[in-house]
Structure 1
């Protein structure tokens, strides 16, 4: 029998990984068996799983590693009674006719999952019509099934923020609203600065005719990216023509249609900014079909969310990009929420990440005479 020393996590004998082998194929591993394998008391294992601060980080990690090795699953009902916590992060997913599935949101969720699984947290995903999201968020909090919420798809004067500030449930916003005080916890990238830098680079290369293929016009990140573009062009005495701006869902088909339309204008753009590499995929297809050479006849910069299946360096002509990882943002937001729930550490409540501007072959000097 393993030695035990009460519930002091600093004095527990370490478990041996080989002990896990006989449990890997077992259907059920209970708390008593897990504690014996680790050489820890049941109380310490339970406290480690429930985030009690008196359990040190090394012991908590040993317990979580053993949980993954053995497939142990705590009794959620008993855990909730003991701690008052559900062990879940809630999110509201907008869905309705005309709203297309979003690969960017999937990558962000993968980042959330990376961090949540380290602490045995679950997701509660509540679908909602966009016009009913405030009520859906309120119901989700009232259900008691979540310990915290994160908000995405920020809009101008987003009403969800004011509602959540009246509640006691922790939350973090991915993005920032526009037109309301930023006195709430958020993580955002500097969308204005990213597209200012991108447009300025193209203007410095001599381009005078610009186009912007953007996300939906009601989303805050799209508004800020257009603002950054307009600001950079204004500094060079240039304007962004409205007929050279498209707001849409960020799919390759929308990118293709927008670029196809721009190229048919009497004065087509020689410089294009895309809010996603997915949009850029369609835009490049239209450029190729028109017989134009990317980086020579027309230059393009896209925002790269670091999507694993669409790397800008793997395009036939590698894309110049502004870059910030959506997966890393998901990991960070989950870490902040879980740290708040379990009082593990004190982390910044407001973060604005700068993007990287990576120059590749898709940008070059403006064509002569244009």
Structure 2
């Protein structure tokens, strides 16, 4: 069924039906619901080109990935976020425009999107502590949403998790278990989330009159090999930590591997707390036993964040005069088999 046939079946003009399907506010709600119900019953899918012409929109959302020659596209955290956001885009009739460019070409990619009117809005991921993309997108006038925050986060829309509180709670748990020799395996600290996690860790120690040991702190791209290498170096030193706080479940698996090779039992000889993004293909829930999840973790679904970020961004596109929308999600601290009292 095409638009003309759907309009004839409803006794309405093609313009009215098109405006109802595309969410124009001047269409009465009763009419809109009638049109939507008829379209669903007839399995009617609007022609994308016609919808672009009717709305004057590109019906696309831009994601720019700066390539550094490392693991960006195979990172399961990035993939799960895109899966969540893409689900919302598809439901609302938007395409996802993924532009993969050298890191030094990021600004040019955004300027081209704005000049070509190829997208209606932009999703910004992995924000840095001071991120030049925020003032650039303000200058270009492109609606955008940041997944995460920067140091100054008042002037734009964002969704973030409470990284400081989450890692403060995790540190408190290890301290309550008697651990005083705690290592932090963080993400890259040019990124805002990693700085906030370090702050939560240091605040937790300071509240008990302790300071972080620089020999037990690392900040790198969060791979399994990074966790394995860093933990191996620390465990082989003369003064090894008894607990690890890790910024992702991915390097936490590497820490567990390093501990196992040295005959150390997690939850008894050594404790590990990580952040769990509830990944589809590598989640804490997928490596459980009757006693519970493998890792004690601060949890927040990256896929759910992708969905919510997409919903907020599309709302910003539909209502461009509204003030910035900002959401801070708390993490859930879940107990697993990787933590226990500090060894004597």
Instruction: Confirm or deny a common fold (TM above 0.5).
Output: yes
In 2, Cα distance between equivalents of 1:289 and 1:347: 54
TM value normalised by structure 2: 0.89
After TM superposition, give the deviation of residue 262 of structure 1 in Å. 1.6
Q: Deviations over 1:131-180 (max 9, x none)?
A: 332232222122101111111111121111111122332111111112x3
- TM-score by structure 1 length? 0.83
Structure 1 distance, partners of 2:202, 2:109, is 36
Deviation, structure 1 residue 216: 1.4
Q: What corresponds to 1:295 in structure 2?
A: 267
Provide closer, same or farther for how the CA distance between residues 113 and 158 of structure 1 changes in structure 2, counting only shifts above 3 A. same
Aligned-residue offset at 1:63: 6.6
Aligned residue among 108, 130, 143 for 2:116: 143
1:223 to 185, 190, 195: 195
CA RMSD of aligned residues (A): 2.5
Q: Find the residue that maps to 1:124 and give its secondary structure.
A: strand
The answer for unaligned runs of 5 or more in structure 1 is 1-28
What is the aligned partner in structure 1 of residue 307 from structure 2? 331
Taking the aligned partners of 2:39 and 2:313, their CA distance within structure 1 comes to 18
Instruction: After superposition, give the CA deviation of every residue in 1:223-268 in whole Å (9 maximum; x if it has no partner).
Output: 1111110110111122222221222222212221121112112111
- Identify the match of residue 82 of structure 2 among 103, 109, 118: 109
Residue in structure 2 matching 1:51, options 18, 23, 28 = 23
| Alpha-carbon distance between aligned partners in 1 of 2:38 and 2:251, rounded to the nearest angstrom | 44
* Residue 18 of structure 2 is aligned to residue 42 of structure 1: no
Measured after TM superposition, the shift of residue 345 of structure 1 is: 12
Are the counterparts in 2 of residues 115 and 331 from structure 1 also a CA contact under 8 Å? yes
- The answer (yes or no) to whether the contact 1:148–1:171 under 8 Å persists in 2 is yes
1:254 to 202, 226, 240: 226
Displaced runs of 4 or more, over 6 A: 37-40, 344-348
Per the TM alignment, residue 210 of structure 1 is displaced from its structure 2 partner at its CA by 0.9
User: Does the 8 A contact of 1:64 with 1:118 survive in 2?
Assistant: no
**Aligned partner of residue 208 in structure 1, secondary structure:** coil
| C-alpha spacing 1:347/1:312, structure 2 compared with 1 (3 Å) | farther
Give the distance between the partners of 1:218 and 1:298, measured in 2 at CA. 29
Taking structure 1 as reference, are residues 80 and 265 closer, same or farther at Cα in structure 2, changes over 3 Å only? Answer: same
